[in-house]
Amino acid sequence: MNFKAMTAMAALLFAPAAYAGGADDDTLIVNDEIEMVTKTAAPEHLDGALDQIISGWHFRADETQQLQTDDFENQGMIFVDQAMDTWNTAEGSEDKSCADCHNDPAESMKGVAATYPKWNEEAGELRTVQMQVNDCRESRMGAEAWKYDAGEAINMEAMIASHSRGMPVDVAIDGPVAEQWEKGKDIYYTRYGQLELACASCHEENYGNYIRADHLSQGQINGFPTYRLKNARLNGVHSRFRGCIRDTRAETFPTGSPEFVALELYVKSRGNGLSVEGPSVRN
Amino acid sequence: MASGVKPRVKAPSSATAGEVVTIKTLISHKMESGQRKDSSGNVIPRSIINRFTCDYNGENVIDVKMEPAISTNPYFEFEAKIPETGEFKFTWYDDDGDVYEDSKAVTVG
């Protein structure tokens, strides 16, 4: 927060409802080299809904923001390191490791996180990064699939995401995935639970406002998997969806369910143009 | 040995004589406080790193006693004066008797 923001806040003391906790104007540069696009024009399909898309990074306190600017202080990177060990470890009946086929992830996984969830032509289904990893484990390594959003799966997703940092999110929403994208959009605008809240109720209509003591962001997922200070580990997109729907006092969909895969595609497409930040740091 | 423990250190590889440099250290460790209970009500035994030291050419820079309230993946940032070419030696002491070590050489040129 700069001096201007401070004076703006002082002014806001007289009108607290108007802009409380809105996005700040800071710039995110990671390791002094990766310049992130954290605010940009909304993609076309959001016409009428949002003009500008803003990374969740802007809605966090300065201290939290700073943790993400250096890989050493970003504790999400600890899990990326652990995933690197897993990457090089042979497993399963084929006794193969990820590295045996994909070599150096800095090369082979570059840009992957920017385009997933993605249609897999061979399997005829929409796949998230974790689904793709599990398919590799089962069909090529002869290893057991990982549980969705758990330990090693989320670490691996973070490691893969880390090699796309700074690249713009660019998921396809047409062609074979159009139907699922529509389904995701339906879920986004459906009011769930006793509180009758849709994703849009908070993240489209009220971002920047307070929800209890916290600021609502636009609910962008360009920074996932996210290292959260509150639980000191990486959090997956589907787990976050679960948490949100649970908070509306509804029964949620399970992680890895077709509903959440569709919702992930839709929500990710709302961030088309923002930089991939994963693993990001949030509170 | 507690699982997934990995020390990480960030220190400059060169310095001028007498320069004060910043050192950052982080070790991944669950730092189980011994205050929590599992789902069946049993106390989860304490398992923390209880001491951290840093030496430069055998001379102690800092020596920290650590307590259970310190959160997971403890991070230390401190400054040290570099008199001559040498090596930092970092040591973490685990409750279970394990000792984790790392070192960083600094050249004065």
3-state secondary structure (DSSP) of residue B10: strand
- Quickly list H helices, B1-109: none
pLDDT bracket for residue A17 (50, 70, 90): very low
Neighbours of B81 (CB within 10 A): 12
DSSP A150-181: SHHHHHHHHHHHHTTTTSBP----SGGGHHHH
Average pLDDT, chain A: 90
Neighbours of A226 (CB within 10 A): 25
Question: Are A72 and B71 a contacting pair at CB < 8 A?
Answer: no
Is the model's pLDDT at A1 over the cut of 70? no
A125-127 and A118-120 strand pairing: antiparallel
The reported pTM is 0.84
Chain B contact present for A232, CB below 8 A: yes
pLDDT of residue A20: 46
Active site residues of A: 244
3-state secondary structure (DSSP) of residue A265: helix
Instruction: HSE, CB side, 13 Å, CA atoms: give it for residue B10.
Output: 12
In whole angstroms, what is the distance from residue A201 CA to residue A207 CA? 9
B86-94 and B49-56 strand pairing: antiparallel
Neighbours of A103 (CB within 10 A): 11
Enter the tokens of residue A257. 């369910």
Enter the tokens of residue A157. 């997703």
ipTM entry: 0.74
Using the 8-state DSSP alphabet, how is residue A223 labeled?
T
Considering only alpha carbons, which residue of chain B is nearest residue A71? Answer: B10
Task: Give A187-245 pLDDT, tens digit per residue.
Answer: 999 999 999 999 999 999 999 999 888 899 999 999 999 999 998 889 999 999 999 99
Q: What is the mean pLDDT of residues B46-54?
A: 94
Considering only alpha carbons, which residue of chain B is nearest residue A75? Answer: B73
In whole angstroms, what is the distance from residue B63 CA to residue B69 CA? 18
3-state secondary structure (DSSP) of residue A134: helix
Chain B interface, Cβ < 8 Å to A: 4, 6, 8, 10, 24, 26, 28, 71-73, 75
Neighbours of B67 (CB within 10 A): 8
Task: Give A125-168 pLDDT, tens digit per residue.
Answer: 999 999 999 999 999 999 999 999 998 999 999 999 999 999 99
Pick the residue with more confidence: A12 or A250? A250
3-state secondary structure (DSSP) of residue B61: strand
pLDDT bracket for residue A6 (50, 70, 90): low
- Residues of chain A in contact with residue B8, where contact means CB-CB under 8 angstroms, are 72, 78, 81
pLDDT of residue B2: 63
Q: What is the mean pLDDT of residues B19-45?
A: 93
Is the model's pLDDT at A177 over the cut of 90? yes
CA–CA min distance A76, chain B (Å):
11
pLDDT of residue A232: 86
Four-point Cα dihedral A124, A268, A172, A105, nearest 10: -80
In whole angstroms, what is the distance from residue B67 CA to residue A160 CA? 35
